Amino acid sequence: MKGQTNLPRLAIASLGGTVSMEVSDGGSGVKPKLGCEEQLAKVPLLREMAHLEVATLGLLPSASLGFAALLDVLAWAQREVERGAQAVILTQGTDSLEETACFLDLLWPVEAPLIMTGAMRAASQPGNDGPANLLAAVHVALAQGSRGRGVLVVMNDQIHCAAKVRKTASLALAAFESPGSGPVGEVVEGVAVYRQPPDRRQVLPPPHRTDHRVALLEACLDADTGLLQAVASLGYEGLVIAGFGAGHVSSCWAEEMDALVPAMPVIVATRTGSGPTALASYGFAGGEIDLQRRGVHMAGQLCPRKCRILLWLMIGAGKQHQLHSWLPR
Ligand code: ASP
């Protein structure tokens, strides 16, 4: 074992989630309970791998995290890098992990990796995966090849990039995938092995306002236009639609775009779960050619939820007019 002072320095914080959850006395079901120190105590080896700066930043189920809290987490993480951390690790709930990772990735301006992980089985459950995920996250955090890749999600010994990762199973241990491209790498016998080169990254400036809201609606069979018509009057400043197939809506939803597009940016993504939206294939009313003609942006590779994060951050930074170049084909 190396002397503590020679060890690389990592900052690690927890926000809550199943990885922190245990059965509470007298209550039913598991709830967030373990702070970051207590999570780390389950893997004593970590203290031999790195000097750890530890913080408990929250004890929330991840559906209750929000943009304001994430901006605080970002500020903490950046401070830790400035103070010499080689990488930062966050543990949190898996339910919103694909969104929080995307949010932080769009704002993470440095080469140092920001690694996110969690667990599918609570700390008090047999076979809980939190400790193994934490160990894998530390291996990835310490790997030279992780630098310059922005935010990475490490679950089940797979390494996913923030822009593509999705939770695709509600309870299974192998709950995360990167549809279409697969994980960028994996952890093999404690070594982070990358199978894909780093993507070219673009980073946004932090938002200078946070009071705005972006709506997300899903197109579905025989849906009326009531909610769509209400979006502008309710004060939303942007709209994302999880569209059918390659990014389509019904003809009556398409007609509503003529009123919406002058009022706010509208993005149509695909609700299918994988694949890009089309640009030049379908010519019917509500198809992507018609939607673009009406001024709608097609999401490209980004899933609806990540589009909403992107649009919120772009509006916050006053850069919504550059949206097109942020929606890769
Ligand atoms: N089931 C969730 C988890 O995996 C709960 C949450 O997202 O906090 O952590």
Amino acid code (one letter) for 259 = A
Query: Which residue is closest in CA terms to ligand 1's atom 6?
Result: 93
| Same domain, yes or no: 218 and 97 | no
Q: Say if CB 52 and CB 13 are below 8 A apart.
A: no
Q: How far is the CA of 14 from the centre of ligand 1 (A)?
A: 13
C-beta atoms surrounding 166 within 10 Å:
20
Distance CA 36, CA 55 (A): 6
Q: pLDDT tens digit string along 122-159?
A: 999 999 999 999 999 999 999 999 999 999 999 999 99
| Same domain, yes or no: 158 and 116 | yes
For residue 112, is it within any domain?
yes
CATH value at residue 262? 3.40.50.40
Q: Is the CB of 17 under 6 A from ligand 1?
A: yes
Q: What is the pTM of this model?
A: 0.97
Q: Is the CB of 118 under 6 A from ligand 1?
A: yes
Q: How far is the CA of 140 from the centre of ligand 1 (A)?
A: 22
| Same domain, yes or no: 86 and 178 | yes
| Same domain, yes or no: 15 and 129 | yes
Distance CA 113, CA 162 (A): 12
Q: Is the CB of 58 under 6 A from ligand 1?
A: no
Q: Say if CB 212 and CB 286 are below 8 A apart.
A: no
**Sequence-separated (6 or more) residues with CB below 8 Å from residue 45:** 135
| Same domain, yes or no: 32 and 168 | yes
Distance CA 131, CA 274 (A): 30
Tell me the β-bridge partners of 90: 13, 116
pLDDT in tens, the chain (329 residues): 444 568 999 999 999 999 999 997 777 899 999 999 999 999 999 999 999 999 999 999 999 999 999 999 999 999 999 999 999 999 999 999 999 999 999 999 999 999 999 999 999 999 999 999 999 999 999 999 999 999 999 999 999 999 999 999 999 999 999 999 999 999 999 999 999 999 999 999 999 999 999 999 999 999 999 999 999 999 999 999 999 999 999 999 999 999 999 999 999 999 999 999 999 999 999 999 999 999 999 999 999 999 999 999 999 999 999 999 999 88
Q: Is the CB of 94 under 6 A from ligand 1?
A: yes
How is the beta sheet containing 9-16 ordered, strand by strand? 51-60, 9-16, 87-91, 114-117, 151-155, 158-161, 185-188, 191-194
Query: Which residue is closest in CA terms to ligand 1's atom 4?
Result: 94
Query: Which residue is closest in CA terms to ligand 1's atom 9?
Result: 93
At residue 308, what are phi and psi to the nearest 5 degrees?
-65, -40
Q: Is the CB of 18 under 6 A from ligand 1?
A: yes
Q: Say if CB 77 and CB 90 are below 8 A apart.
A: yes
What was the pLDDT predicted at 329?
81
For the chain, what is the domain count? 2
Q: Say if CB 115 and CB 90 are below 8 A apart.
A: yes
Residue 18 domain boundaries: 4-194
For residue 143, is it within any domain?
yes
Lookup: tokens for 63: 């559906």
For residue 222, is it within any domain?
yes
For residue 204, is it within any domain?
no
Q: Is the CB of 133 under 6 A from ligand 1?
A: no
Atom of ligand 1 nearest to the CA of 32: 8
- Where does a domain end: 194, 225, 256? 194
Q: Is the CB of 301 under 6 A from ligand 1?
A: no
| Same domain, yes or no: 276 and 140 | no
| Same domain, yes or no: 218 and 179 | no
Per-residue burial over 71-100, b if 16 or more Cβ lie within 10 Å, else e, is bebbeebbebbeeebbbbbbbbbbbbbbbb
* Sign of the alpha-carbon torsion through 311, 317, 322, 326: negative
Q: How far is the CA of 93 from the centre of ligand 1 (A)?
A: 4
How is the beta sheet containing 297-298 ordered, strand by strand? 214-218, 238-243, 266-270, 297-298
CATH value at residue 120? 3.40.50.1170
Q: Is the CB of 32 under 6 A from ligand 1?
A: no
Chain position carrying tokens 């105590």: 41
Q: Where are the alpha helices (DSSP H) in 9-96?
A: 36-40, 46-49, 67-82
